[in-house]
């Protein structure tokens, strides 16, 4: 059932995301290859493309939040919550789709920037995921790690955990706010602020392992990435618990 | 064994009591009319059976299971009073959606009903008229071979001719071992279908009776009795 829900999520969100990517890429290609012919208009196209990249990221986050609200807390909730699936499956389907779109947006944004920029100034190494090969080079200066594969894995884990936690903070606030009979959105905002404050306090008191800097800065960086991922996962798990509680026990569809 | 059972169920929304100690059972093979004026608790009663609400107190059993679990959802086919299907989907996509999620969905029945009602499967829900949307939603719900159908105002927004088709569809398509609970204000239209009626008033159960027995004892139709019981 989870795969069916995920398929449904992608189908629903692709309607927004795919056209947005196409516009962003078209702008980037236009700005890159027709700048010289268009003069000032070309510069405007470049600026528009940069704005489109920013807008794409914002729309991505907004789309994932609105999707949760509309699909589970709006009228569609009457259908979704009577499907033979669990609340956990609903949540994971949304999270997997959201994080996949975040990754796609990141890739498309970098792709657009690569198209837009002078190709010799900013390149991504093709063999970046292989051990010992430069990952990124900026203006010809290679940024290399001795174990790029592990580094990329750590970044992927952190990206997944951070993406899920970001979504879950909004989901928890919306699930809590929409459990009330009236002023649902206003109360969701209040919950979001309260959760943010509570998270700030929690991260202050959380017993985070000390990451000591020593000569082996690569090992330090690896350790730091795992610690950040772990702490983020703890916060995400709390948001997850709050969301599940409200969806299971305090669901209050209009 | 009852398909649906409420035991002393109370539901409060803040200070408002929507249901007050309701106990009732629905047996398999019965078509039950859930009747009552606005605000009497009919929709709340149905939403509780679907697990969309949690009772303040009391217990509900759907096919001997607590409502809200995937297993109970697999047994219940629920038609909400509002449009719940995504409006960007076409009727065809919705049929496939139901097919994906419900093992008891009968695709051939759905296609036949769409064809009978001249509904273009390629039409998006948002492009349909209000009546057509309601028809599509009802077709999807009635195309399942569920054990319990909970229909909240199934004929409220459609014309009389379609109403007749829908009612005959309900009779023709429900599993004979299943029960159907229909919440409606249009009592005269559904009366001929009903085996049993439940009257709700201010969240309390006023009456649960067999329709034939009621007509015999009171000497009047259910519609006439409703008007008498709920006279303003």
How large is the ipTM? 0.88
The pLDDT of A142-150, averaged and rounded, is 61
A251 contacts B97? CB cut-off 8 A: no
Distance from CA of A21 to the nearest CA of B (A): 20
Q: Is A126 on the interface with B (CB under 8 A)?
A: no
Strands (E), chain A: 122-124, 136-138, 141-143
> Who among A8, A83, A249 is closest to B73 (CB)?
A83
| Contact list, A18 vs chain B (CB under 8 Å) | none
Chain segment B43-100, per-residue pLDDT in tens: 999 999 998 988 999 999 998 899 988 999 999 999 998 899 999 999 999 999 999 9
How far, rounded to the nearest angstrom, does the alpha carbon of residue B29 sit from its chain's CA centroid?
A: 14
Question: What is the percent of chain B with per-residue pLDDT over 90, rounded to a whole number?
Answer: 49
Of the two residues A201 and A144, the one the predictor is more confident about is A201
State the angle between helix axes of B160-173 and B107-116 in degrees (0 to 180), rounded to the nearest 10: 160
pLDDT computed for residue A118 by the predictor: 56
Return the CATH number of B4-229, one of 3.30.360.10, 3.40.50.300, 3.50.50.60, 3.40.50.150. Answer: 3.40.50.300
| Contact list, A181 vs chain B (CB under 8 Å) | 13-14
* Number of other CB atoms surrounding residue A207 within 10 Å: 6
pLDDT computed for residue A204 by the predictor: 80
Of the two residues A228 and A143, the one the predictor is more confident about is A228
Q: Is A81 on the interface with B (CB under 8 A)?
A: yes
Domain residue spans of chain B: 4-229
Phi-psi region of B184 (alpha: psi -120 to 50; beta: other; left: phi over 0): beta
In which band, very low, low, confident or very high, does the pLDDT at B110 lie, cut at 50, 70 and 90? very high
Of the two residues B106 and B174, the one the predictor is more confident about is B106
Residue of A nearest to B50 (CA): A82
Of the two residues A114 and A98, the one the predictor is more confident about is A98
pLDDT computed for residue A130 by the predictor: 39
| Contact list, A83 vs chain B (CB under 8 Å) | 73, 101-102
Chain segment B126-152, per-residue pLDDT in tens: 999 888 898 899 899 989 989 999 999
Tell me which residues of chain A, numbers 127 to 186, contact chain B at a CB-CB cutoff of 8 Å: 181
Of the two residues B129 and A131, the one the predictor is more confident about is B129
The pLDDT of A94-117, averaged and rounded, is 87
| Res. A140: pLDDT tops 60 | no
A253 contacts B78? CB cut-off 8 A: no
Tell me which residues of chain B, numbers 7 to 36, contact chain A at a CB-CB cutoff of 8 Å: 13-14
- Tokens coding B117: 């009602």
| Res. A242: pLDDT tops 80 | yes
| Res. A125: pLDDT tops 60 | no
In which band, very low, low, confident or very high, does the pLDDT at A209 lie, cut at 50, 70 and 90? low
| Res. B226: pLDDT tops 50 | yes
Q: Is B71 on the interface with A (CB under 8 A)?
A: yes
| A84 Cβ contact list (under 8 Å, min separation 6) | A1, B70, B71, B73, B74, B101, B102
- Per-chain mean pLDDT for chain B: 88
What is the C-alpha separation between B84 and B91, in angstroms, rounded? 13
Chain segment A21-37, per-residue pLDDT in tens: 998 888 888 777 776 66
Q: Which long-range contacts (CB under 8 A, 24 or more apart) does A59-66 make?
A: A59/A16, A59/A20, A60/A17, A60/A20, A60/A101, A60/A102, A60/A105, A61/A166, A63/A13, A63/A16, A63/A17, A63/A101, A64/A13, A64/A94, A64/A97, A64/A98, A64/A101, A64/A102, A64/A167, A64/A170, A65/A167, A65/A170, A65/A171, A65/A174
Going by C-alpha positions, the residue among A83, A105, A98, A80 that lies closest to residue A25 is A105
| B214 Cβ contact list (under 8 Å, min separation 6) | B197, B222, B225
pLDDT computed for residue A207 by the predictor: 72
């Amino acid at each position: 059932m989870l795969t069916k829900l995920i398929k449904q999520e992608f189908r629903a969100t692709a309607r927004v995301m795919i056209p947005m990517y196409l516009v962003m890429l078209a702008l980037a290609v236009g700005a890159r290859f027709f700048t010289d012919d268009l003069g000032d208009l070309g510069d405007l196209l470049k600026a528009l493309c940069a704005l489109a990249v920013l807008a794409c990221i914002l729309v991505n986050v907004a789309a994932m939040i609105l999707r949760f609200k509309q699909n589970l807390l709006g009228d569609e909730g009457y259908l979704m919550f009577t499907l033979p699936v669990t609340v956990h499956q609903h949540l994971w389907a949304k999270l997997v789709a959201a994080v996949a779109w975040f990754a796609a947006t990141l890739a498309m944004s970098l792709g657009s920037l690569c198209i837009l920029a002078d190709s010799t100034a900013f390149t991504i190494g093709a063999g970046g995921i292989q051990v010992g090969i430069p990952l990124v080079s900026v203006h010809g200066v290679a940024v290399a790690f001795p174990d790029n594969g592990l580094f990329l894995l750590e970044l992927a884990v952190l990206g997944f955990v951070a993406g899920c936690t970001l979504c879950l903070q909004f989901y928890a606030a919306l699930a809590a706010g929409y459990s009330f009979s009236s002023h649902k959105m206003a109360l969701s905002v209040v919950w979001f602020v309260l959760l943010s404050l509570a998270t700030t306090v929690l991260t202050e008191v959380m017993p985070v392992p000390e990451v000591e800097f020593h000569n082996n800065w690569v090992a330090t960086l690896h350790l730091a990435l795992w610690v950040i991922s772990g702490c983020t996962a703890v916060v995400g798990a709390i948001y997850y618990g709050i969301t599940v509680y409200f969806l299971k026990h305090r669901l209050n569809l209009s | 064994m009852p398909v649906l059972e409420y035991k002393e169920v109370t539901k409060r929304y803040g200070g408002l009591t929507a249901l007050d100690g309701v106990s009732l059972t629905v047996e398999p093979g019965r078509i039950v009319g859930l009747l009552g004026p606005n605000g009497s608790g009919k929709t709340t009663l149905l939403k509780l059976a679907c697990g969309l609400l949690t009772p303040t107190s009391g217990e509900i059993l759907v096919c001997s299971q607590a409502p809200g679990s995937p297993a109970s959802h697999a047994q219940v086919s629920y038609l909400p009073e509002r449009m719940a299907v995504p409006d960007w989907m076409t009727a065809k996509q919705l049929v496939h959606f139901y097919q994906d999620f419900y093992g008891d969905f009968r695709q051939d029945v759905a296609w036949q009903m769409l064809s009978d009602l001249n509904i273009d499967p390629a039409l998006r829900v948002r492009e349909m008229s209000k009546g057509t949307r309601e028809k599509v939603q009802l077709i999807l719900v009635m195309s399942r071979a569920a054990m319990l159908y909970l229909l909240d105002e199934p004929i409220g927004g459609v014309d009389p001719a379609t109403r007749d088709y829908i009612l005959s569809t309900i009779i023709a398509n429900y599993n004979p071992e299943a029960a159907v609970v229909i919440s409606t204000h249009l009592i005269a239209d559904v009366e001929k279908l009903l085996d049993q009626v439940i009257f709700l008033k201010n969240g309390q159960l006023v009456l649960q009776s067999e329709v034939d027995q009621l007509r015999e004892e009171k000497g009047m139709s259910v519609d006439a009795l409703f008007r008498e019981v709920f006279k303003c």
